[in-house]
Chains A and B, each alone.
Chain A
Amino acid sequence: MKLFCRILIPLISLVALVLLGGTNVLADVVVECPTWSAGPGSPINYTGGTFIDSNGDGMIRADDSEITAPVSDTQVCLHLAAGDGLVNMADGREQYMFGFANATGTPNSQVLNVFMEGAVFPAPTIKLKQGDDVYLTLTNVGMNRRPDLFDPHTVHWHGFPNASAVFDGVPDASISINMGSSLTYYYHVVDPGTFMYHCHVEAAEHMQMGMLGNLYVTTAQDGTSFEYPVSSGKFYTKFAYNDGDGSTGYDVDYPLQLAAFDPTFHDASFNIQTLPFANMDDKYPMFNGRGYPDTVKPLGDLPLHNHSTSSPVSTLMTPTAGDRMLIRISSLSTTSFHTIGIFGLKMQVVGQGSRQLKEPYMTNSITIGGGESVDVIIDTAGTTAGEKYFVYATNLDHLSNDGQDYGGMMTEIQIQ
């Protein structure tokens, strides 16, 4: 009997494995950007359509004529790769990270090779239009530097109204994608506003490790001209919200996302040690993935960095004197609240939580916790070219890159 069990059990297991392996694809990179094969009424071709990001905006859009035979005029296709990578802090220190990269347009067969260990921080900015039908494919390329990890990943569109559970990206409540495979999320984008996105798998870990980015939606009202204030002679065609009167109109907008790294946590992850959740203590506070002075530098001007392309986003703001600026502030800090202030300019808060505020208000500081977003308008009327204004965390201990002072959560508005 004992011998029988010893032989039979492995045999059954082996047969089961072969059967399973033989009948199912275990992993596959598949981008779903569906197309009609002919006219309406014909079957949808979910994969294998023809599309190319011809204008280089990081997404495939039907209204940019980048999709042959799209399923709708407002179809948008995006492809994110999720995995690991290395990034430099502003003091040059190398940090291991988990993150996303924009794989849109890369042939399926090359995605694993190209994006393995290719994560960027912050995650690629996703800028959409109200009314878009978004097909966002997420491919899990695995953790090249942590082959002991088999973590799945998700995309959580933070703040999506009336989200369905299956596309909300919470692993406990739905599905997450395993290594080597792809999952396509669908969003019918109804509301404009400032949102954010991040991976929700083991959220405290994956977010501290860097799986987060900017996401915002421009309005259906964009393109319509409003004079604001009435009889001011100032006209706007871009708006934070569908305000109906131009009151959230802007000339130039900047996403500004707060997040921070705890080097002890990142080093523990890299060195396969127990992760210090309770002691999580951020030492690298950042705007859009960089600490000052990197925040104001172009990509090519990061001499301390071996991995400069891992943090490609500059947060230098360069409005022309007189411009009305919109700053889309969001926080994905995993540890603390922050207060953001500006020297010398006034802030008008026109929105929060991806909705227009009924009563906008003036302020000199914005306090924002993890998972909150605030839309701030700054009127640069009265400034002159060459002037410089600082945007910074008034939590002054967050103005550092670990031990290095005059760093952290700070950037500049340089008037042109």
Chain B
Amino acid sequence: MIYIKRQLEDSCLILLTLLLSLVPATGWAAIQGLSGTNFNFTASSGQISAADGDDVFFWGYGVAGQRPQYPGPTLIVQQGNTVTIRLSNRLPQNTSLLIPGFKVQASGGVAGQITREAPAASATEAVYSFVADRPGTFGYYSGTNSDLQVEMGLIGAIVVRPTGFDAAVPTAYGDARTAYDDEFLFLLSEMDPEIHHAVEIGTDPVATTGFHPVLWFINGRNAPDTMAANNVTWLPNQPYNAMPSIEVGKRLLARWVGGGRDHHPFHTHGNNFDLIARDGYLLQTTAGASRQASEMGTVPDLAVSDFTQNVAPGGSYEGIWSWTGAELGWDMYGHSGTEVGICESGPTPATTIDADGFDVNTREYCVDHGKPLPVVLPNAQQLTFGGFYSGSPFLAAEGSLPPGEGGNNPNAGYAFMWHSHNEKEMTNNDIFPGGLMTIMIVNAPGM
């Protein structure tokens, strides 16, 4: 009995720790990765943790002398720089590295079918060098036995910053059409654990034709682990978080990379995005004009608005997403309309409304200021509550919740699910929910 009680207490503690660790802190580093021009990688094997509790044997790129990781280190480099990746290999078969989108000079190692390879279980390095001649988002992956090695985890992403990049006023491509306030990477992939098991027990060759993925990942994690912080200790080989957040009205740059072999329709709840580039090429006419998107402000003239992005294998995409709350038809803060200093139309006191009709401080749409919520919500007994619900329909407001409900959204932001709309991919080996899913949180200014 005491034993059981202790078990229960332990479980509660574990649950609490888990819940707390899932609570998104504000100001998480947007895209974690390695900066510079010279990188030393080692390909080696390890275990990743799937969110259903399974340990999956994998092969990954890692910083030389450190753990392999899934995905490999995200490289953040400068346009115009010559980037060199030196790769050594502890895997039982040769491996290599392809960087589609650039002219790569390979040297060292041994000759392979597609590129120079780092020989199996050897300190002999293969060296890949390229000039990052244009900005954008790119993938990298193994060019050796790729069908198996990509499945095993040898993938990663590269972000190329435009010439003249200023972190204080960041842009994706060097001009205002591609300006953003926060950026997030979504490297999408999937795995078939059967293949991994076959490799782990030494099967050679491993058949990949029966490929049947049951695990789906963003940045190498399945939901809900996608929402845990970067570098959490219990995911030592999956360092990258995949939980975006942004303030009302700010521009978010989403960088999508297709890292596996399947297409994934990635749906952004909350609003449309404007797709501004594909594979590192801006969607613009030769004149390079810009246009005003309804929400996002200035975007390249051929940008395409959509609510779902088909992320294809080997493809990369950049979208600008924003959430303004315009024209909800009710006050998102639940204001009464009599507040001083909010949505003042001037001249005395001075106006607080900007040219687009938003309050300069609260960022609310002033036409809706003071309008009540148009419906009466049912009482608590009639409802089921989500972990990201603050208990209130209003932004930055907490409402009463039954014990044990809510708790994952401490700033009471608006939470929107971002996920694969091949809904079966929102599972972890038959367990719903999970998989290729995360939560986007829109916070009130200053939260």
Residues of A at the B interface (CB closer than 8 Å) are 20, 24-28, 30, 32, 34, 46, 71, 133, 135, 152, 158-159, 161-168, 170-178, 181-188, 190, 200, 202-205, 207-208, 274-280, 332-337, 352-355, 357-359, 367, 369-372
Closest chain A CB from B20 CB (angstroms) = 17
Are B332 and A164 neighbours in the complex by a CB distance under 8 Å? Answer: yes
Bound CA–CA A320/B373 (angstroms): 46
Are A358 and B302 neighbours in the complex by a CB distance under 8 Å? Answer: yes
- Asked if B58 lies at the interface with its beta carbon under 8 angstroms from chain A, I say no
A168-B270, A172-B387 are known contacts; what are 12 more A-B pairs with Cβ within 8 Å? A32-B376, A158-B307, A159-B272, A164-B325, A172-B417, A173-B386, A173-B415, A178-B384, A184-B375, A186-B374, A186-B375, A200-B417
> Which residue of the partner chain, among B380, B381, B422, contacts A333 with CB atoms under 8 Å?
B422
Chain A residue with minimal CB distance to B267? A371
Are A168 and B416 neighbours in the complex by a CB distance under 8 Å? Answer: yes
Q: Point out the residues of chain A lying under 8 angstroms from B417, CB to CB.
A: 170, 172-173, 200
Question: Which of B301, B327, B424, B433 has its CB near the most chain A CB atoms (within 10 A)?
Answer: B424
**Number of A-B residue pairs at CB separation under 8 A:** 223
Are B422 and A335 neighbours in the complex by a CB distance under 8 Å? Answer: yes
Are A162 and B326 neighbours in the complex by a CB distance under 8 Å? Answer: yes
Question: Which of A172, A202, A205 has its CB near the most chain B CB atoms (within 10 A)?
Answer: A172
- Asked if B362 lies at the interface with its beta carbon under 8 angstroms from chain A, I say no
Interface of A is mostly: loop
Residues of B at the A interface (CB closer than 8 Å) are 212, 214, 263-265, 267, 269-272, 291, 294-295, 301-302, 304-308, 310, 323-330, 332, 373-389, 393, 414-417, 420-424, 426-427, 429-433, 439
Bound CA–CA A27/B379 (angstroms): 9
Q: Point out the residues of chain A lying under 8 angstroms from B272, CB to CB.
A: 159, 161, 353-355
Closest chain B CB from A260 CB (angstroms) = 11
Question: Which of A152, A183, A275, A355 has its CB near the most chain B CB atoms (within 10 A)?
Answer: A355
> Which residue of the partner chain, among B302, B323, B324, B421, contacts A369 with CB atoms under 8 Å?
B421
Bound CA–CA A280/B420 (angstroms): 15
Bound CA–CA A52/B244 (angstroms): 45
Closest chain B CB from A78 CB (angstroms) = 13
Which 10 A-B residue pairings sit nearest by Cβ, starting from the closest?
A371-B421, A188-B329, A353-B306, A369-B265, A173-B415, A181-B382, A166-B393, A370-B421, A278-B214, A165-B414
Are A353 and B386 neighbours in the complex by a CB distance under 8 Å? Answer: no
Are A337 and B388 neighbours in the complex by a CB distance under 8 Å? Answer: no
Q: Point out the residues of chain B lying under 8 angstroms from A332, CB to CB.
A: 421
Closest chain B CB from A268 CB (angstroms) = 11
Are A172 and B304 neighbours in the complex by a CB distance under 8 Å? Answer: no
Are B416 and A175 neighbours in the complex by a CB distance under 8 Å? Answer: no
Are B214 and A133 neighbours in the complex by a CB distance under 8 Å? Answer: no
> Which residue of the partner chain, among A135, A161, A188, A208, contacts B295 with CB atoms under 8 Å?
A161
